[in-house]
Every structure is written in C-alpha cells, then in structure tokens.
Amino acid sequence: MAHRIFITATNTDVGKTYTTLTLLRHYAALGYRVAAFKPIETGVVGAPLDGTALQQCVRELNPELADVSVDAIVPLQFTLPAAPFVASGGTPIDLARLDTALAALEAHCDIILIEGAGGLMVPVDPEMAIIDLIRHFGAKALLVSHCRLGCINDTLLNLMALEQSGVSYEWVLNCRDTDDAFREVSAPYFEARYGEFYLLKRNLSELAAALLA
C-alpha cells in the first residue's frame, strides 16, 4: 500500500489544493511515484476545479497515470457548493466505492495525497465527518492552517480534535503574501508554545519528510 497522506484544513479556502500540489511536485522531484485523490468535491459545474488541477499535476508527474481521468480522482461530485452532507441530500456515502477508487490509484504510486472537502468537522453523511474519513482510510493527516488574525484559535481547536481522534498528524501554516501581520500578532504565540513549527514555504522539505515518518 502507498503512503496515504490526507490533506485537511481549519476551514475552506485555506490552501488544501495548493498544499497538495506543492507536495506532489516535491515528492516527485525526490523520485517518488505520486498520485492524488479527492474523494468528494462539491460546487461542481461542468468539471471539478480542484480535481482538474490535481489531475493535470498527476498526469504531468507520474507516467503511469498519464491518462488518468478526473472522475478517477474525484469519484463523488455534487453541484451544490456546500458540505457533502447537504450537497448529497443527506445520502450515506458509499465507502466501498471510495475504497475501490483509492486502490486503483494506489496501484500506480508510492505516495498518494488525499484532499478533503472543507475542514475536519465538515459532515460527509449522517454518520461521518471528514475526520472520520481520515480514520477510515488509515491515512496520516496534514492539517493546513491560515496565517490571518484568528489562526491561533482555529489551529488549536483543530489540533485538539486531531489529538482526541487518535489520528497521526502533522500541521503547517500556509502564509500568503497578504499575511503581513502574522510575524507580529500570531507567530510569537506559536514560537512560545511549540518552539519550532512548520511554515509551508519555509519548511517544505522538513514537512514532507515528517509526513513519511
């Protein structure tokens, strides 16, 4: 079985797809065969935007998946831009279908990055949230957090959920060029509490290694 890494986040629009694409390219440059999987994407009109970006990247990086379809990467697609539970009308998720799709991709890779929808506690169906999917897949989680004001609270709440779930994880802050105040208003806390912590642009190599440990 390939290394399974599940990319989740403190909320939507934090940078899951950007982080996934960055890690795919990094691992491929190290010589690994890579694949991407997004079990569920909502807000799909025509083609899934995130799934298409992942498809194009995987086709470029892994010759064994040069012809992979976007439907193979995103098996469950819904039109409404909402939590999967709402977008599907509360229909139970077909886990067997997801397992089959994941196994088909795994046959062609050493590392597979699984991108979630929204954040950890987003409801998938009446019984499961995204955090339960991570456990179901037996994956290591990567929590991506933002660097805007409020990132301390958002990060700590999500880390607490991961700790309580028993899921193995790493976490990283995805700072954007507009996050000028992070160094002054948020970084001092993270430095005081954790000493060293990962910033995606600063610590990509170290983070990638930790995810495979």
Catalytic residue numbers, as ranges: 38
User: Which residues make beta-bridge pairs with 143?
Assistant: 8, 171
Rounded Cα distance between 167 and 187, Å, is: 25
The answer to whether the CB of 146 falls within 8 A of the CB of 19 is no
The answer to whether the CB of 93 falls within 8 A of the CB of 18 is no
Rounded Cα distance between 60 and 201, Å, is: 22
Under DSSP, is residue 172 helix (H, G, I), strand (E, B) or coil?
strand
